[in-house]
Structure 1
Amino acid sequence: VNPHPYNVVLSNPNICRVKDLFMLVYVHTGADHYRRRAVIRQTWGDIKRFPNMRVMFVMGKTSTIKSMQDALQFESTTYGDILEEDFEDTYHNLTFKGIGALKFISHYCNNVKYVLKTDDDVFVNMYTLQNHLMQLEGAGYNKSLILCMASWNAPVLREGKWAVPKEMYPEEHYPTYCQGLAYVLSTDVAPKLYDASFFVKFFWVDDVYISGILSK
């Protein structure tokens, strides 16, 4: 009921081919957000500081202007950290970014211990996060894990920016889901969510769909 028929435009299938890779971070971004990506590469996403981590920036196509795509191609060749698919990059297509990332992880990153999803306007305290995950791993929490700030029994809004009509989602409350600022998955969860996405009707609120409806 929910095929993901989009083609990969830019990617680096070798990004996870790193010995003892602890974490892959996938970041929702837009083609024209180069400065945000540059800041992340120079700070919390700097692989010189965190050699056991890799960052992948996920986007759709936002422009038919050849120069912008050429710039993305150059950026991808330089850094090897872009995942671009050919769906239209709009606010209501954010779910496609998440599914595209889960697809990529399922195919190329099963050697990674943890996956972090975040956005390009978020600053991650990577030291604290990795230390916390290492403590959890030491306590045996390294499988079937979704770790986040959870929204419990959140009402479905019928007005405003996140308005959802009843014909699209008839329930009055969402299932428990992760707030989209950031959430962590143990890597075994990624292919389970991706496989489930084919059998669950598309829903444009990406955090609710991926971390809530699919996990349920």
Structure 2
Amino acid sequence: MKFIKDVSRTTFKLCQKKIRRILPMICGIVVLTYLLTYSSHEDDMIVGVRKKQLGINLEVTSPSVNDSQLSVTTDNTTIGTTPIPVNPAIHFPLDIDLKQSVKDKIEKNIDVPAKPINEHNFKYIHKPLKCEFANIAGGINMLILVKSGVRNVFLRNGIRDTWGENLAGNIKLRFMLGYSVSHVETSKREAETYNDIILENFVDAYPNNTLKTIMGFNWAVTECASARIILFLDDDHLPHVNNIMTHLRSLNDDDLDSLFLGYRIDNGKIYKGRHHWAIPRNVYPYKTWAPYLRGGAYIVSQKNAKKFAVAFPFVQYLHVDDGYLGVVALKLGIEPQHDDRFVTRKRDIMNNKASFVYNDYKHPHNLKMGWKVVKNAKS
């Protein structure tokens, strides 16, 4: 019995020592979790208190989710490798002949015979000057729109110091941001310094990614109409601009004007429940997405961009932006075109020098290392 008591006493003392060692670590984790949670919800809390004082319209279109959306392949998901028949098998509001209505609007200026259900009623806080491209013989004017989190200042500066620096005169770079109460002055200084920030008065939050994308399409069509091609990128992607331009120059006029090109996902899974990509069944009742292009990097022609811009007000909002574009493309009869070169992880950059885009650059230092490889590669 005495032996058991001695062992118990010794064990208790050891546990006390370990607890004293571990307790500061546990407290640190708790405090860090609180700070991260507070930071992620900071804007929403301040917006609720100061909305009237600021005198601008701030909106979050759906419940806040704290993550960046990336397309994934799972179970029943397949990668697009061959042309797909475009047919409106998915019925989604508005269930109208959108393809014909958009064509009539663009070609004949006939209004779409329906009331908009997804009007983009936001105002620019910062807007760059209209695009002016240099007249380069045989050049194709391309606008690069980078979807960026308002807090990612250092990553944007990394882009400006690497692949975004000294772009050819027929290529323009702009960043798409949302609004943050805590970053008003930072965004203002950045916009005034570089004149490359497109920012409207919707809150910079994951559920508003589609708003950011719509803003980019609208700006490209109205303020940069002389761009024949638009490259959409996430800010953690490194493009091989020379490879992209070489490919574009290899296409004939018809192929250029019909581009909606990227890494296509067929039968992409619709998440339900509490997943951050979740779409309620009563909003979108299907088990899979229409074929779509992975949102990290894709190319769209100016002609197709105009069709999307006209169509958006008549297609119900979905916060998963690449899936939403797939639905709109299906309604417009635009085929998402697949190319493997739009997805290459940064660790494979040395072995895939013919790729269009390398992804997952979360830090400016890594971006600079990747840029050295791209810059010195023969294309």
State the TM-score, normalized to the length of structure 1.
0.91
2:129 aligned to 4, 13, 17, which one?
A: 13
Runs of 4+ in 1 over 6 A off after TM superposition: none
1:157 aligns with 2:271: yes
Amino acid at match of 1:189: N
Partner of 1:173: 288
d(CA) in 2 for partners of 1:24 and 1:80?
14
* Structure number, greater radius of gyration: 2
Amino acid at match of 1:163: A
Q: Percent identity?
A: 29
Other structure's SS at 2:185 match: helix
d(CA) in 1 for partners of 2:318 and 2:253?
35
d(CA) in 1 for partners of 2:160 and 2:310?
31
User: Contact 2:133/2:141 (CA < 8 Å) preserved in 1?
Assistant: no
Aligned 1:117-132 pairs, distance under 5 A: 117-132=232-247
1:91 aligns with 2:206: yes
Other structure's SS at 1:96 match: helix
Aligned 1:55-134 pairs, distance under 5 A: 55-62=173-180, 64-65=181-182, 68-134=183-249
More strand by share: 1
How far off its partner does 1:30 sit? 1.8
Partner of 2:328: 214
Other structure's SS at 1:147 match: strand
User: Contact 2:145/2:173 (CA < 8 Å) preserved in 1?
Assistant: yes
How far off its partner does 1:144 sit? 2.1
Amino acid at match of 1:209: Y
Partner of 2:348: none
User: Contact 2:134/2:169 (CA < 8 Å) preserved in 1?
Assistant: no
1:51 aligns with 2:169: yes
Partner of 2:260: 146
Other structure's SS at 2:316 match: coil
d(CA) in 2 for partners of 1:85 and 1:202?
17
How far off its partner does 1:40 sit? 0.9
How far off its partner does 1:140 sit? 4.3
Q: Deviations over 1:19-48 (max 9, x none)?
A: 3462101111122211111111121222x2
Paired residues in the alignment total: 209
1:199 aligns with 2:314: yes
Amino acid at match of 1:199: F
Other structure's SS at 2:256 match: coil
Q: Deviations over 1:80-126 (max 9, x none)?
A: 10000000111011000000111111111111111001111111111
d(CA) in 2 for partners of 1:51 and 1:43?
16
1:29 aligns with 2:148: yes
RMSD: 1.5
Other structure's SS at 1:142 match: helix
User: Contact 1:110/1:188 (CA < 8 Å) preserved in 2?
Assistant: no
d(CA) in 1 for partners of 2:159 and 2:222?
25
**More contact order relative to length (CA 8 Å, sep ≥ 6):** 1
How far off its partner does 1:129 sit? 1.2
Other structure's SS at 1:128 match: helix
d(CA) in 1 for partners of 2:253 and 2:305?
21
1:2 aligns with 2:115: no
Amino acid at match of 1:53: I
Q: Which runs of 5+ in 1 are unaligned?
A: none
State the TM-score, normalized to the length of structure 2.
0.53
d(CA) in 2 for partners of 1:2 and 1:168?
14
How far off its partner does 1:158 sit? 2.0
How far off its partner does 1:200 sit? 0.5
How far off its partner does 1:139 sit? 6.7
Other structure's SS at 1:115 match: strand
Other structure's SS at 2:128 match: coil
Other structure's SS at 1:173 match: coil
d(CA) in 2 for partners of 1:34 and 1:156?
32
When structure 1 is superposed on structure 2, of 139-148 and 89-98 the one drifting more is 139-148
- Cα pair distance change 1:167/1:113, threshold 3 Å: same
d(CA) in 2 for partners of 1:201 and 1:27?
24
